[in-house]
């Protein structure tokens, strides 16, 4: 077990007129090597939740354990926790500040006190993961890049710390389809090749349904669903719509067919799944007609 | 007779024109946009969508070529403010567009600047709030609103000026699915009920599907113009432009190829469900 949250509550502006309870009774376990999607509409507490993973926020009540250690106890070295759990915030390109891409990506390893040659190795490795050519990019200013490239540099500067777990808050927001696909394939790569645990927040139902293995759905500060995307989209389509989340178009299509009394499987998430399911149905029905 | 609202003639725009590192953002574009139409402009990042949009209300001026808005050339300085009053703009980030501490003050900001009397101002603010369905938030503080609501306030601020044409530059890019739906619904309503011309920039194809006409840009050039149904079946070109084909259209094209009698022009889930009902 990597992370465990136990009865976590969090309230902003506690005791002030604007006091708001943002997290309510969160109980969550994340195992090493999992690939998790976190969805929920704006303001439901997603970002607040992930900030509890590495102690950026402390619960108002409840406990957070990382590898069995209660991270909010006194004398816990949060620096070590944060090396293991890398958070990539929304619009991480806004956090770039160095003069060159090399310096930007080297910042983390430098702070870890690594010797020069190791730093260089880490920078090369991180830039390779995000598909930016080391020699072409190392001397360039991060501010001369396109939005998509800047975001990849920001991701690289987290990867160079070699976290065990990567938590990304809407990493594809505002990118065009190509930029989005690049980032997502890089995230899939670190999960697959390095066994990194990944938690991904996204509003893109179609993409998230396709790539994650476990989906958490939040609403008003609570985790209201936890399961495989197939299971959640199959059984809870109605509830998802009610709380303002969309369905992937093909899932919505199956769901509507079912509403009209057609016996189709509604846990389809991709065009491939939908094509197969529809062709199977057509075959079955045609057989019946022949008889 | 339909009136031509915007006429673009051989428009090119080069950034850093007087410097070494010139970037040609728009390359010889000619277009006509009719009054009351709903147009979407699609294209990958860097294709020139936003540069084009910024020419429509004089935020940028052509390096060469001309643009006329209701017959007024954008290059003539005397026209600048007249054009800006007619063509309103809504940008991506709702937080960057809010200037006041209450919703009604924010909407009134533009009106105050052009010296509208308080009586008329109140009327216009109320009307604009009603159109974007935000009446109950009149006295709210903007920073407490959701992203979709903030964008609706931004839209209200523009229509309160009685702008007859609205340019929206990826207005839903930072919103969640609910916020996206809100904005699309309001934009359609403005077009249909208030007869406001809409020029909608997006790279989300299911949003472009709501418009009457799609213009696709790539590397500063217009590569496709047509109705959404005509554009979306050109999957090869769209893939080349690195744009998404809506899941449902892709499914329709595949099923059509497998010999099912399903039109490959399907853009909406409902159409697909209707056609599939005959089969399954």
Predicted ipTM > 0.85: no
Which of A41, A176, A253 faces B45 most closely, judged by CB atoms? A176
Please write the tens of the pLDDT for every residue from A85-132.
999 998 898 899 999 999 999 999 999 999 999 999 999 999 999 999
Q: How far is B276 from chain A (nearest CA, A)?
A: 8
Interface of A with B in 187-226 (CB under 8 A): 203, 205-206
Closest residue in A to B240 (Cα–Cα): A178
Which of A173, A179, A282 faces B280 most closely, judged by CB atoms? A282
Please write the tens of the pLDDT for every residue from B42-100.
988 888 999 999 999 999 999 999 999 999 999 999 999 999 999 999 998 888 888 89
Is the Cβ pair A146, B46 closer than 8 Å?
yes
Q: 3-class DSSP state for residue A36?
A: strand
- Map out the domains of chain B as residue ranges: 36-58+72-232, 246-280
Is the Cβ pair A250, B203 closer than 8 Å?
no
Q: How confident is the model at residue B2 (pLDDT cuts 50, 70, 90)?
A: low
The answer to whether the pTM exceeds 0.90 is: no
Q: List CB contacts (< 8 A) between A43 and chain B.
A: 146
Q: How far is A112 from chain B (nearest CA, A)?
A: 34
Please write the tens of the pLDDT for every residue from A192-242.
999 999 999 998 899 999 999 999 999 999 999 999 999 999 999 999 989
Closest residue in B to A243 (Cα–Cα): B178
Residue A64 has pLDDT above 90, yes or no: yes
CA distance A270 to A212: 13
pLDDT of residue B244: 84
Name the residue with tokens 């500040």.
A97
Which CATH number does the domain B36-58+72-232 belong to among 2.40.50.100, 3.30.565.60, 3.60.40.10, 3.40.50.300?
3.40.50.300
Name the residue with tokens 């009540």.
A61
Is the Cβ pair B280, A257 closer than 8 Å?
yes
Beta strands in chain A (DSSP E): 3-12, 20-30, 35-39, 61-66, 69-70, 85-88, 165-169, 197-201, 214-219, 222-227
Which of B177, B242, B269 faces A203 most closely, judged by CB atoms? B177
Is the Cβ pair B250, A178 closer than 8 Å?
no
Residue A291 has pLDDT above 50, yes or no: no
């Amino acid at each position: 077990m990597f992370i465990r949250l136990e009865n976590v509550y969090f309230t902003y502006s506690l005791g002030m007129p604007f006091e708001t309870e943002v997290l309510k009774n969160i109980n969550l376990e994340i195992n090493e090597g999992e690939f998790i999607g976190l969805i929920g509409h704006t303001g439901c507490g997603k970002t607040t939740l992930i900030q509890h993973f590495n102690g950026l926020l402390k619960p108002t009540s409840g406990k957070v354990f990382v590898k069995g250690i209660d991270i909010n106890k006194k004398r816990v070295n949060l620096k070590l926790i944060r090396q293991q759990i890398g958070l990539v915030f929304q619009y991480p390109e806004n956090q770039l500040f160095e003069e060159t891409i090399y310096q930007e990506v080297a910042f983390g390893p430098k702070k870890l006190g690594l010797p020069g040659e190791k730093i260089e190795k880490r920078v090369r490795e991180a830039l390779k993961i995000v598909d930016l050519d080391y020699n072409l990019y190392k001397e360039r200013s991060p501010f001369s890049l396109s939005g998509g490239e800047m975001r990849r540099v920001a991701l690289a500067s987290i990867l160079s710390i070699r976290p065990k777990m990567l938590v990304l808050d809407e990493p594809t927001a505002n990118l065009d389809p190509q930029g989005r696909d690049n980032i997502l394939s890089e995230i899939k790569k670190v999960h697959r090749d390095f066994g990194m645990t990944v938690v991904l927040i996204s509003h893109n139902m179609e993409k998230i349904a396709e790539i994650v293995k476990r989906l958490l759905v939040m609403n008003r500060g609570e985790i209201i669903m936890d399961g495989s995307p197939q299971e959640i989209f199959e059984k809870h389509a109605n509830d998802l719509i009610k709380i303002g989340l969309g369905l992937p178009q093909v899932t919505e299509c199956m769901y509507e067919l079912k509403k009209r009394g057609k016996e189709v499987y509604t846990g389809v998430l991709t065009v491939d799944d939908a094509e197969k399911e529809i062709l199977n149905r057509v075959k079955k029905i045609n057989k019946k007609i022949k008889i | 007779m339909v009136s031509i609202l915007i006429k673009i003639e051989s428009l090119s725009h080069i950034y850093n024109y007087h410097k070494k590192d010139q970037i040609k953002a728009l390359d010889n574009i000619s277009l006509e946009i009719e009054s009351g139409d709903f147009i979407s402009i699609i294209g990958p990042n860097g294709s020139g969508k936003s540069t084009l949009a910024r020419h429509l209300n004089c935020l940028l001026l052509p390096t060469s070529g001309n643009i006329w808005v209701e017959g007024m050339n954008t290059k003539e300085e005397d026209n600048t403010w007249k054009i800006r009053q007619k063509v309103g703009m809504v940008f991506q980030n709702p937080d960057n567009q809010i200037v006041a501490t209450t919703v009604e003050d924010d909407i009134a900001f533009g009106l105050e600047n052009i010296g509208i009397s308080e009586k008329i101002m109140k009327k216009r603010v109320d009307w604009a709030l009603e159109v974007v369905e935000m009446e109950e938030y009149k006295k709210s503080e903007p920073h407490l609103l959701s992203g979709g609501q903030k964008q609706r306030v931004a839209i209200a601020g523009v229509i309160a000026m009685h702008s007859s044409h609205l340019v929206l530059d990826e207005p839903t890019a930072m919103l969640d699915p609910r916020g996206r739906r809100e904005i699309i619904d309001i934009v359609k309503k403005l077009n249909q009920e208030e007869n406001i011309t809409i020029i909608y920039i997006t790279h989300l194809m299911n949003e472009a599907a709501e418009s009457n006409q799609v213009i696709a840009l790539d590397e500063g050039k217009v590569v496709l113009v047509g109705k959404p149904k005509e554009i979306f079946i050109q999957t090869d070109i769209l893939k080349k432009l690195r744009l998404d084909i809506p899941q449902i259209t892709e499914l329709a094209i595949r099923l059509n190829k497998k010999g099912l009698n399903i039109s490959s022009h399907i853009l909406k889930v409902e159409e697909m469900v209707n056609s599939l009902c005959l089969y399954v």
